[in-house]
Structure 1
Amino acid sequence: MSIEVSNESGLDVSEEELISVARFVIDKMNVNPGAELSMVLLDTAAMADLHMRWMDLPGPTDVMSFPMDELEPGGRPDASEPGPSMLGDIVLCPQFAAEQAKAAGHDVEHELALLTVHGVLHLLGYDHAEADEEKEMFALQRQLLEDWYHDQAQLYRRNRQAERDSSLLGKSEYFMTPAADDQL
C-alpha cells in the first residue's frame, strides 16, 4: 500500500502518524493492499480556496476527501472490493484542526488522526448527509480510532519490552563468560 503525504501547511506535523492511522483504517476496512492514497496538508488560505471551488462554501474547513471516480467504494460491506488503484486524495488543514482541537479540549495530533479516519471513510463511500448515515459513519469512525490507539499502545508496550529484554541480555554476557580462574 502506498500512502504519500505532501505537507504544504507550513506547520510541523507527524507524517508518520498520519500514514499510520490511514494505513490502519485501510487495512481494517479490507481495502486491496495495492491501493494508493494521497494526503495533502494545506494552510487555511489554500483550504478556503479549495472549499469554495469544490463545495461552494466560504472559509476553510478541516478535511476534504476526493475519491477517484473510476474506483468503486470498497470499505462498505455492501460494496464491491476495489482493486489495486488510487483511492483518492485527503486534504487536511492542520491550522483549522488545531482550533477545533483546542475547542474540543484535546491535542492537535488527536484531531488530525480523527480527521484522517474521517477522510478515509469518505473515500470508501461513507457519508453523513442523512441522520442514519451520520450515525453509522461516526460510530465506525470512533471505533476505528479507538482500535488504532489500542494498537499503538500495544506496539509501544512491545517495543519497551524489547528494549528491556535487550538491556538484560546485554548484561547477561557477564554471567556467561567463564571466570579467569575457571579456565585454569
Structure 2
Amino acid sequence: MSIDVLNETDADVDLEELRDCAAFVMTQMRVHPHADLCVRVIDEPAMETLHVQWMDLPGPTDVMSFPMDELRPGRDGEDPEPGILGDLVLCPSVAAKQAAEAGHSTEEELLLLTVHGILHLLGFDHAEPQERQEMFQLQRTLLLTFLASQERREPTRIQPPSGE
C-alpha cells in the first residue's frame, strides 16, 4: 500500500504516526494492499480555499476527503478492488482548537481526523442519524484499536470531531 504524507505547514506533525494510522485503518477495512492514499497537512488559508471551493462553506475546516476510484471496504469472500483511495487533507491548527475543546492532544485529534477522513473515502457518511451512529462507532473502534496497538503512556479519551 502506498501512503504519502506531506506536511505543507510549519506545524510539528508526526507524519510517521499519521502514515501508520492510515495503514492500520486501510488494512482493517480490507482495502486492497496496492491502493494509494495521499495525506496532506495544510494551513488554514489553504484549507479555507478548499472548503469554499468544494463545499461552498466559509472558513477552514478540520478534514476534507477527496475520493478517487470510489473504493469500498473489502468483504468476506470478495477480493478488494485495487486503485487510488484518494486524498485526505488535514488542518492541524483547526485540529488543535478542537483537541483543546475535547480535552486531548492535537496529535490524537489528527489521528481521529485521519480515521474519519479515510472512512469518508470508503463511502461512509454521517448525514443521517443511523449513518452517523455506524460511522462514529466504527471510527471510535478503529482509533482505539490503533492507539492500543501503539506504545502510549496515557489513556486517550476520543470524541467525535466537533461540528459533526
**Aligned twin of 2:66:** 66
Distance 1:81 1:63 in 2: 29
**Aligned twin of 1:14:** 14
**Residue 5 of structure 1: how far off its partner (Å):** 1.1
Pick closer, same or farther for the CA change 1:92–1:123 going to 2, 3 Å.
same
**Aligned twin of 2:2:** 2
- Equivalent residue runs for 1:81-160 within 5 Å: 82-153=80-151
**Aligned twin of 1:28:** 28
Distance 1:32 1:62 in 2: 27
Contact 1:72 1:81 survives alignment (8 Å):
no
Distance 2:26 2:109 in 1: 18
Count of matched residue positions in the alignment of Structure 1 and Structure 2: 152
- Equivalent residue runs for 1:24-63 within 5 Å: 24-63=24-63
Consecutive unaligned residues of structure 2, counting only runs of 5 or more, are: 154-164
In our comparison, the structure showing a higher alpha carbon Rg is 1
Contact 2:30 2:75 survives alignment (8 Å):
no
- SS of 1:153's partner is coil
TM-score, length-scaled by structure 2:
0.87
**Residue 152 of structure 1: how far off its partner (Å):** 1.1
Distance 2:50 2:31 in 1: 27
Q: In the TM superposition, what whole-angstrom CA distance separates every residue of 1:139-180 from its partner, at most 9, and x where no partner exists?
A: 0000000110111139x9xxxxxxxxxxxxxxxxxxxxxxxx
Consecutive unaligned residues of structure 1, counting only runs of 5 or more, are: 157-184
Question: What is the letter of the counterpart of residue 152 of structure 1?
Answer: Q
**Aligned twin of 2:161:** none
**Aligned twin of 1:182:** none
| Higher helix proportion (structure 1 or 2) | 1
Question: What is the letter of the counterpart of residue 115 of structure 1?
Answer: L
Distance 1:72 1:122 in 2: 10
Percent identity over paired residues: 56
Contact 1:73 1:81 survives alignment (8 Å):
no
